[in-house]
Amino acid sequence: MIKIALLGYGTIGSGVAEVLKVNKDSIAKKAGQELALKYVLDLRDFPGDPIQEKIVHDYEVIVNDPEISVVVEAMGGEEPAYTFVKRALLAGKSVATSNKALVARYGPELIRIAQERNINFLFETSVGGGIPIIRTLNTCLTADVIEKVTGILNGTTNYMLTRMTEEDAEFDDVLKEAQAMGYAEADPTADVEGYDACRKIAILTSLVSGQQVDFEEIETQGITDIEALDIQYAKAMKRVIKLLADSRRTEEGYCALVAPVMISKKHPLYNVNDVYNAIFVHGNMLGDAMFYGSGAGKLPTASAVVADIVDIVKHSHCNIKTFWSPEKLPLADYRKARRRFFLRTSDPEAAIEAAFGAVEYVRLPGVSGEVGVLTEQMSELEYEKRAAGLTGIRKMIRVE
Ligand code: HSE
């Protein structure tokens, strides 16, 4: 029997306990032995809940218990998660985590400790919730050089943008709904400002390149500036606005960007709605592949965490090698990527055409004092140079 300790009894942690309980028998068959939750570390008590008998408030109880061979970290945030996970690994206990902040910053170090001790550090749910994308990159797509990864990697913002598009709902109302459904981070700023998606694309780019991507170097824009009017313009152009996390291999190296993008029906991510996430991957041999599923939420995420535990049990005394060195990956300038640009501007047509040449105009009934403009394809460096010739730009949104 494998004895497990769970760190954190929030949305994901309580989901892990539920999955282990509800699917106990089938999980035991797949793991080859029974999995038993021995401790749950949380600052809180849960009187009246059967979990209370497993609650401990002192991490020392867990790290010093030789019976515990697997630690599940579901606390979120960098500290004390980092200290607890590192100590667990150093004590010879394998770890499964859903914590993207932890993995994005400390991934290579924790992977190395696990390798040195012949145990495992698995983090499938740090990207894409219930979608198996880490394991896919690490074991299934190893014959390819991955040239492009574009994802909808944040369930909260995708849920919000979908509701704002389909029901003309207000930003604050839909954020509250996403929080109530357990999709959002404890501080939803990480979702709406794009920081969560940024850490996730940093993790994917690190796995694809085999080197450490500094997420702080990734240009990141969230959805807080997206107004109802922007969505109306997108609809008028038969497009939707999605928060895309993009990483591509150029001649100068990998470049990455997180930003709202207007995409058309032809785009593979156009129909990814609500809390669903999807990751589109292009490999130099594989061509295109897409991975789709529940990107956030208690049980989909917990299911994938428990799958990591099963993998750990199946690989006792055998490290599953992960290709991610601590060597820093210098990122190329994302502004060299070519795309079209949408702007809302009060500049006259003559000035717009002097700056951008041939453009398409988008006019909304009842909207005066500005016009929507869709440029031809160009690099962002070129867009910036040309846009400097205008004085009335209110908004720019990238278009694909
Ligand atoms: N807040 C995250 C999201 C949770 O909305 O996608 C899953 O990482």
- Residue with CA nearest ligand 1 atom 1: 184
Q: Is the CB of 295 under 6 A from ligand 1?
A: yes
Pocket test for ligand 1, best of 73, 125, 154 (most atoms within 8 A of CB): 154
More confident residue, 317 or 46: 46
CATH number reported for the structural domain that contains residue 355 in this entry: 3.30.70.120
Percent of the chain exceeding pLDDT 70 equals: 100
| 171 CB neighbour count, 10 Å cutoff | 17
Together in a domain, 241 and 310? no
Strands (E) in 168-223, as ranges, are 219-220
* Residue 398 near residue 261 (C-beta atoms within 8 A): yes
Ligand 1 center–CA 280 separation, angstroms: 18
How long, in residues, is the chain?
400
Q: What is the pLDDT of residue 186?
A: 87
DSSP conformation class of 281: E
Identify the active-site residue in 54, 93, 100, 200. 200
**Has residue 68 got a pLDDT over 90?**
yes
pLDDT digits (tens, 9 = 90+) for 236-289: 999 999 999 999 999 999 999 999 999 999 999 999 999 999 999 999 999 999
Together in a domain, 303 and 289? no
Together in a domain, 101 and 40? yes
* Residue 100 near residue 126 (C-beta atoms within 8 A): yes
Atom of ligand 1 nearest to the CA of 183: 5
Instruction: Reduce the secondary structure of 107-160 to three states and give it as a string.
Output: HHHHHHHHHHHCCCEECHHHCCCCCCCHHHHHHHCCCCCEEEEEEECCHHHHHH
Together in a domain, 103 and 160? no
Together in a domain, 140 and 124? no
Rounded mean pLDDT, 380-398: 98
Q: What is the pLDDT of residue 317?
A: 87
Tokens encoding 165: 């598009």
Q: Is the CB of 246 under 6 A from ligand 1?
A: no
**Rounded Cα gap, residues 313 and 328, in angstroms:** 32
- Residue with CA nearest ligand 1 atom 7: 296
Q: Is the CB of 185 under 6 A from ligand 1?
A: yes
Together in a domain, 152 and 229? yes
pLDDT digits (tens, 9 = 90+) for 95-128: 999 999 999 999 999 999 999 999 999 999 999 9
* Residue 8 near residue 62 (C-beta atoms within 8 A): no
- Is residue 200 part of the annotated active site? The answer reads yes
Mean pLDDT for the chain? 97
Rg (CA), the chain: 23
Question: Bridge partners of 327?
Answer: none
Question: Bridge partners of 222?
Answer: none
CATH number reported for the structural domain that contains residue 143 in this entry: 3.30.360.10
Q: What is the pLDDT of residue 366?
A: 97
Pocket test for ligand 1, best of 156, 159, 242, 276 (most atoms within 8 A of CB): 156
Ligand 1 center–CA 196 separation, angstroms: 7
Q: Is the CB of 154 under 6 A from ligand 1?
A: yes
- Residue with CA nearest ligand 1 atom 4: 296
pLDDT digits (tens, 9 = 90+) for 38-67: 999 999 999 999 999 999 999 999 999 999
Ligand 1 center–CA 66 separation, angstroms: 33
Together in a domain, 156 and 266? yes
Is the Cα dihedral 212, 218, 222, 227 positive or negative? negative
Strand arrangement of the beta sheet that strand 2-7 belongs to: 55-56, 35-41, 2-7, 68-73, 94-97, 121-122
Report phi then psi at 56, rounded to 5: -130, 155
Together in a domain, 114 and 101? yes
Atom of ligand 1 nearest to the CA of 158: 5
Ligand 1 center–CA 137 separation, angstroms: 20
168 is in which domain, residue-wise?
135-294
Tokens encoding 152: 């909808």
Together in a domain, 260 and 121? no
Euclidean distance between the first and the last CA atom of the chain, given in angstroms as a whole number: 52
3-class DSSP state of 263: strand
Ligand 1 center–CA 127 separation, angstroms: 8
Tokens encoding 223: 């959805």
DSSP conformation class of 382: H
**Rounded Cα gap, residues 1 and 160, in angstroms:** 43
Number of domains in the chain: 3
Q: Is the CB of 155 under 6 A from ligand 1?
A: yes
Of 8, 81, 76, 79, the residue nearest 46 (C-alpha): 8
Kindly give, in sequence order, each residue whose CB lies less than 8 Å from that of residue 140, ignoring residues fewer than 6 positions away: none
Ligand 1 center–CA 308 separation, angstroms: 18
Report phi then psi at 72, rounded to 5: -105, 120
pLDDT digits (tens, 9 = 90+) for 170-212: 899 999 999 999 999 989 999 999 999 999 999 999 999 999 9
**Rounded Cα gap, residues 290 and 35, in angstroms:** 32
Atom of ligand 1 nearest to the CA of 191: 1
Q: Is residue 171 part of a domain?
A: yes
Q: What is the pLDDT of residue 134?
A: 98
**Residue type at 159 in one-letter notation:** Y
Together in a domain, 202 and 316? no
